[in-house]
Structure 1
C-alpha cells in the first residue's frame, strides 16, 4: 500500500441501489468513459466528492452516496494525484479489492441542475478532445 493521506471515513457515489454489507468491485464500465472497463474501484474521503460522482454516474437511477470501507490495499488515485492535483487534495483513492458498503449517506450536497449540466458539458468536451482522465 502506498502512503495515503486518510484513514477514512471513505465514501463512494453511484446510482446503484445498495445495502450495508454489499460489495463494490472493479470490472465494470467507467461512468465517464463507457468504452473502458475499470481495473479499480474508486472512492474518496470527501462526502460531497462522492456526491458529485453519484450525480455524474451513468444510468437513470437516483444518485446515492455510501459510507464504505476498503477490504484490501488501496492507493492514492494516480489519475488525479499525479496528473492534476499533486498532494491529493481531492482525497481520491482506488483499489483492486472490493469496498464494503457500511451505510447509506443522506447528508451530502446536491448539485443544482445548472451546475450538473456544466459538469456534463465539461466531460463531453474532454471526451471529444480525446483526453481528460478523471475520477472513475
Structure 2
C-alpha cells in the first residue's frame, strides 16, 4: 500500500507537479492560502471567509499547512487566547500558483445558484459540474 501524497515529504515517486500538489492536497488548503496571502487572519476570521468548512476540518488543514512550513501560527497569551495565521516566506512563493488558479476560475467558472458551470473558450457554457455543497 502506498503512502498518501500528504505523507510523502522527501521522496516523491512522481513528477514535480505531484510534489507540489502534495502540499496543496486537501479541499480547503488552496482557499486558505488564497485568503492568507492578503494578510494575517485570526482563526474566526478565516472561518467566516469559509462558511462551508467545519471548525475541525479548518483546524486540520491549518495544522497541515503549518507542518509543511507554508503557514505560521502565533498564539498570544491573553484571555481569551488569540491565535493568528500568516503566510511564511516559503508559503508566499506559492502566490503565482494561487493567483493563476484564481485567474482561471475568474475566466472559466461561472457560479450560479444551481451550481458551477465551465465556460467554454468561445464564451458559451459547458455542461454543469457538481453543485456547490455546504459542509
Given the two structures, how large is their TM-score scaled by the length of structure 1?
Answer: 0.30
Structure with greater proportional helix content: 2
- TM-score, normalised to structure 2's length? 0.30
Which structure ranks higher in relative contact order (CA pairs < 8 Å, sequence separation ≥ 6)? 1
